[in-house]
Amino acid sequence: MAASEMMEALMALCQERHIDQLYLIDRLEQSLAKSYAEILHLDWGAKVTIDRSTGKIYVYKLIPDDDSMDEEGNYTRFEEIDVTPKDTSRIAAQHAKAEINAIVRNSAREQIYEEFSGRIGDIITGTVLQSTPDFTIVKIREGVEAELPHFDLHRYEDERNERPMGERYLHNQRLKAVIIDVRDPNSTVPPVRGEHSRPPIVISRTHPALIKRLFEQEVPEIYEGTVEVKSIAREPGQRSKVAVHSLDDRLDPVGACVGPKGSRVRAVVGELRGERVDVILWNADPAVYVANALSPAKVTRVLIDEEKNYAGVIVPDDQLSLAIGKEGQNARLAARLTGWHIDIKNETLAADILKNVPVIEEQPADDLLSDDEPERCAYVNEDGIRCRNQARPGSRFCGVHDPVNMGEGESDYISEAEDLI
């Protein structure tokens, strides 16, 4: 292929793929310079220029100017010697094809990054295209694919595993997931293994945000903002706890999330492949919140130590195993949900501990009066009700019940009342 023909083909391809012509030629010159430096074994590298009108390629050998060395020992000027090989068009055509493919691929990744980088945390619905031992490719729409990684983290510590335990995906299967990352094609961060051949969008089926987005789709009150999802604790594929709160005192947030006959939460569980979801009521009082979080176990008492972020929980003896859960799962999820360190004890064990804790008894109302305040009248009637009047100065009785002002029978009754007091 003549140089002019190659140039015409390049320009036509640039128009078809919407690539800037000057940008492509600049990239092509840089790529050819690297290749010819290796082919011709040039110690100081090569410089390649392409004539924009004819397409003719020129290769120059770089020889450093000894007088151009800077303070750091680097040469700043080079002499250019023409070493153009005879057959440059064939190598240029190969490089042009590779560069065009790289530019098109990078341009597509940049467009995807601009569109989806602001959608991290959003839910997407896609179709499974391909599954490998390390990740699954999900088609979001035509020309846009996402990666759901499920690497063996023991072998690849820097990778992710975003697939719940026990899940497997089939070709053309519909799948919902949340976007957790979009790889920037222009990032200076070292790429992960095989990044350039993998889709730029990374999705997850294990992230707690997936449950929140699913509830937003199923519960209008959450989508509208009347009901808030305060916290989510999850062990993907097994069990989750969701704390909800209503901004409307007349609306039951738990009932709204569960739905008529459990229809709403059942739809969420179905999308999570049977993962159990507990919806609990959030409360500003830590003790109440912790007790709710341990549902379905019944809690007798919660002792809060705010300084140590510690919650001591007492449950009936028959509720201990339910509160802890299988392999400690219920207690573990409750601790993650509330943010408190939870220690659970049954009533029998707690009784031995609590009996040594001093109990402050409330004083009767009579004893709460200060010394400066007058005492109440000591008169008690036949029904055992004490007079609410204040005693006269120097006396234990009010003006009505003072023995000085009363008859003999009443005076004797007051004497008996005093003995009772």
Separation of alpha carbons 319 and 300, rounded Å = 10
57 with 102, same domain: the answer is: yes
Contact criterion met (CB below 8 Å) for 62 and 43? no
Tokens of 132: 């490998």
pLDDT, residue 367, reads 42
Separation of alpha carbons 311 and 408, rounded Å = 63
pLDDT, residue 413, reads 45
N-term to C-term CA, the chain: 121
pLDDT, residue 325, reads 93
Residue 306 lies in a domain: yes
Sign of the dihedral defined by the CA atoms of residues 220, 225, 227, 231, in that order:
positive
pLDDT, residue 400, reads 62
- What's the order of all strands across the beta sheet hosting 301-305? 301-305, 310-315, 341-346
- DSSP string of 47-98, one letter each residue: EEEE-TTT--EEEEEEEE-GGGB-TTS-B--EEEEE---S--HHHHHHHHHH
Strand 201-204 relative to strand 227-235, pairing: unpaired
pLDDT, residue 210, reads 96
- Cα 5 to Cα 51, 59, 84, 372, 389, distances in angstroms: 13, 19, 19, 112, 117
Give the end of a domain, one of 63, 86, 110: 110
pLDDT, residue 8, reads 78
Tokens of 398: 């009010």
Separation of alpha carbons 242 and 212, rounded Å = 9
Sign of the dihedral defined by the CA atoms of residues 222, 226, 232, 234, in that order:
negative
352 with 375, same domain: the answer is: no
- At 109, give phi and psi (nearest 5°): -65, -35
Contact criterion met (CB below 8 Å) for 216 and 196? no
Contact criterion met (CB below 8 Å) for 314 and 300? yes
* Coil/strand/helix, residue 257: helix
Check which CATH number belongs to the domain holding 7 and give it: 3.30.1480.10
Q: Would you write out the chain's pLDDT as a tens digit for each of its 421 residues? A: 566 677 777 778 777 767 778 888 888 888 888 888 888 888 888 898 988 777 788 889 888 887 777 777 787 788 888 888 877 667 766 776 777 777 777 778 888 899 999 999 999 999 999 999 999 999 999 889 999 999 998 888 889 999 998 899 999 999 999 999 998 888 777 777 777 778 899 999 999 999 999 999 999 999 999 999 999 999 999 999 999 999 999 999 999 999 999 999 999 999 999 999 999 999 999 999 999 999 999 999 999 999 999 999 999 999 999 999 999 999 999 999 999 999 999 888 877 766 665 554 444 434 433 444 457 777 767 666 677 667 777 777 776 666 655 554 444 444 444 444 4
> 104 Cβ partners below 8 Å, 6+ apart?
17, 19
Nearest to 97 by CA among 8, 9, 197, 200: 9
Tokens of 162: 């975003």
pLDDT, residue 332, reads 96
Separation of alpha carbons 61 and 284, rounded Å = 74
Give the end of a domain, one of 312, 332, 360: 360
Q: What's the total number of domains in the chain? A: 5
pLDDT, residue 44, reads 85
Residue 115 lies in a domain: no
202 with 235, same domain: the answer is: no
Nearest to 337 by CA among 252, 243, 237: 243
289 with 315, same domain: the answer is: yes
| Distance from chain centroid for Cα 57 | 54
pLDDT, residue 383, reads 61
The model scores a pTM over 0.75:
no
pLDDT, residue 398, reads 74
Residue 212 lies in a domain: no
Separation of alpha carbons 264 and 253, rounded Å = 12
302 with 340, same domain: the answer is: yes
Domain enclosing residue 170, as ranges: 120-186+195-206
